[in-house]
Amino acid sequence: MADSLEDLKARVRALKADFEAALGPAGDATGLQSVRDRFLGRKAGAVTALLKSLGGLADDARREAGRELNELKDDLEAKLEAAKTSLEAKAGALRLERESLDVTLPGRVPARGRRHPLVSTREALEDVFLSMGYEVYDGPEVEDDFHCFEALNMPPDHPARDMQDTFYVDVPGPSDLLLRTHTSSGQIRYMLENAHPPEVRIICPGKVYRRDNDITHSPMFQQIEGLVVGRGISVSDLKGTIEAFLHRLFGEKYPVRFRCSYFPYTEPSVEADLSCIVCDGKGCRVCKQTGWIEILGSGMVDPAVFEKVNEHLGRVVYDPEEVTGFAFGLGIDRVAMIRHGIDDIRLFYGGDLRFLEQFRG
Ligand SMILES: [Zn+2]
Number of H helices, E strands in the chain: 11, 9
The rounded Å distance from CA 249 to ligand 1 centre is 17
CA–centroid distance, 341 to ligand 1, in Å, is 11
Whether the bond between 140 and the residue before it is cis, its omega within 30 degrees of 0, is: no
Q: What is the CA(282)–ligand 1 centre distance, in A?
A: 6
For ligand 1, the distance from its centroid to the CA atom of residue 275, given in whole angstroms, is 8
Cβ-based neighbours of 201, under 8 Å, separated by 6 or more: 133, 134, 135, 227, 228, 229, 230
Interval between CA 342 and ligand 1 midpoint (Å): 13
343 Cα: distance to centroid of ligand 1 (angstroms): 13
pLDDT score recorded for residue 361: 52
Give 34 Cα–ligand 1 centroid separation in angstroms. 83
**182 CA → ligand 1 middle, Å:** 27
Residue 301 buriedness (CB in 10 A; 0-12 / 13-18 / 19+): buried
Separation of CA 256 and ligand 1 centre (Å): 14
Residue 179 pLDDT: 92
Ligand 1 centroid vs 276 CA: distance in angstroms? 4
Distance 359 CA to ligand 1 centre (A): 23
C-alpha 264 to ligand 1 mean position (Å): 30
Q: In angstroms, what is the span from residue 327 Cα to ligand 1's centroid?
A: 27
Give the model's pLDDT for residue 84: 87
Query: Per CATH, is 118-356 categorized as 3.40.50.2300?
Result: no
Q: Which pLDDT does position 44 carry in this prediction?
A: 75
Q: Angle at the Cα of 269 (from 265 to 271), degrees rounded to 5?
A: 125
Q: CA 337, CA 118: separation in Å to the nearest integer?
A: 9
Q: Are 211 and 167 in contact (CB under 8 A)?
A: yes
Q: Would you list the domain boundaries of the chain?
A: 5-98, 118-356
Which has the closest alpha carbon to 293: 345, 246, 327? Answer: 246
CA of 358 to the centre of ligand 1 (A): 23
pLDDT tens string for the chain (361 positions)? 556 778 878 888 888 888 888 888 877 888 888 888 888 887 778 777 777 777 777 777 778 888 888 888 888 888 888 888 988 888 888 888 888 878 888 888 888 888 899 999 999 999 999 999 999 999 999 999 999 999 999 888 887 677 678 888 888 776 789 999 999 999 999 999 998 777 899 999 999 999 888 887 889 999 999 999 999 999 999 999 999 999 999 999 999 999 999 999 999 999 999 999 888 899 988 788 999 999 999 999 999 999 999 999 999 999 999 999 999 999 999 999 988 988 888 999 998 989 998 887 5
Handedness of CA 184, 188, 193, 198 (dihedral sign): positive
**Single-letter amino acid, residue 33:** Q
Instruction: Note every long-range contact of 171-179, with CB atoms under 8 Å and residues 24 or more positions apart, other chains counting.
Output: 176/144, 176/145, 176/146, 177/142, 177/143, 177/144, 178/142, 178/143, 178/144, 178/145, 178/148, 179/141, 179/142, 179/143, 179/208, 179/209
Identify the burial level of 59 via C-beta atoms within 10 angstroms of its C-beta, where 0-12 means exposed, 13-18 middle and 19 or more buried: exposed
| Count of residues making up the chain | 361
For ligand 1, the distance from its centroid to the CA atom of residue 273, given in whole angstroms, is 12
The neighbour count for residue 69, using CB atoms within 10 Å, is 19
Ligand 1 center to residue 345 CA distance, Å? 18
The model's pTM is 0.69
Name the E strands within the chain: 135-136, 142-144, 177-179, 200-209, 220-230, 256-263, 266-275, 292-301, 324-331
CA 53 – ligand 1 centroid, Å: 106
Question: Distance (Å, rounded) from C-alpha 213 to C-alpha 152?
Answer: 25
Q: 3-state class of 345 per DSSP?
A: helix
pLDDT at 26 (0 to 100): 77
Q: 152, 264 in Cβ contact below 8 A? A: yes
Using the mean position of ligand 1's atoms as its centre, give its distance from the Cα of residue 287 in Å. Answer: 4
C-alpha 266 – ligand 1 centre gap (Å): 29
